[in-house]
Amino acid sequence: MKIVKFGHACVRIEHEGRVLVIDPGVWTSAEAIDGADAVLITHEHADHVNADLLRRTDAEVFTIAGVADLLAAEAPDVRERVTVLRPGTGFTAAGFQVETVGEMHAEIHHEIPRIHNSGYLVSDGHTRLFHPGDALTAPGEHVDVLCLPVSAPWLKVSEAIDFARGVGAAHNLAIHDEVYSARGLGAVDAHLGRFLGAAGLDYARVAEATELSW
């Protein structure tokens, strides 16, 4: 499995000529979506879904009802190729086996209504990658690569550490990393590197369009 980290929460997964993209949002460069065979969207926030990017491809889009409703209002042409998913669903997208995980977005503040969110556990038959979206809901299954949120209005570094240690993936790739400044992210990296390293797990935050293989 080749993984390419794009802006903020977006990752591009490639295997044997197939391309699956997760969460191309407004902070994602256009090249992330080019050549995609399928797209997964975790929830409706703009940093995770961008209709203009989705229009760059004719790939099928898999997502939850809240995102489908958003696209029906803002991009009905894209909505026509959306498959709506329910919690606990298993399906195939671009040749990858995918399972939906969880149902709710993490709480930002108790006065802000929570929306729905679906994480995705993706397998190419050898490597299993988990992208949680904006939630800390673990899949309860073996994971090789965790796309780990590291900065968000709903997240503390202690929660990121405990979530990663609980999932127990050998490889942890930082995502959701455009909320903090470079200095703030440096502090987060130091904590995650120290705690995950002590648990025998690796941690990496990489530059835009960096390719990784696991």
pLDDT for residue 100: 98
Whole-number mean pLDDT of the chain? 97
pLDDT for residue 67: 98
pLDDT digits (tens, 9 = 90+) for 161-205: 999 999 999 999 999 999 999 999 999 999 999 999 999 999 999
pLDDT for residue 63: 98
pLDDT for residue 17: 96
Report how far residue 197's alpha carbon sits from residue 188's, in angstroms, rounded to the nearest whole number. 14
pLDDT digits (tens, 9 = 90+) for 91-144: 999 999 999 999 999 999 999 999 999 999 999 999 999 999 999 999 999 999
- The answer to pTM > 0.75 is yes
Domain positions in the chain are 2-207
| Domain at 2-207: CATH architecture | 4-Layer Sandwich (3.60)
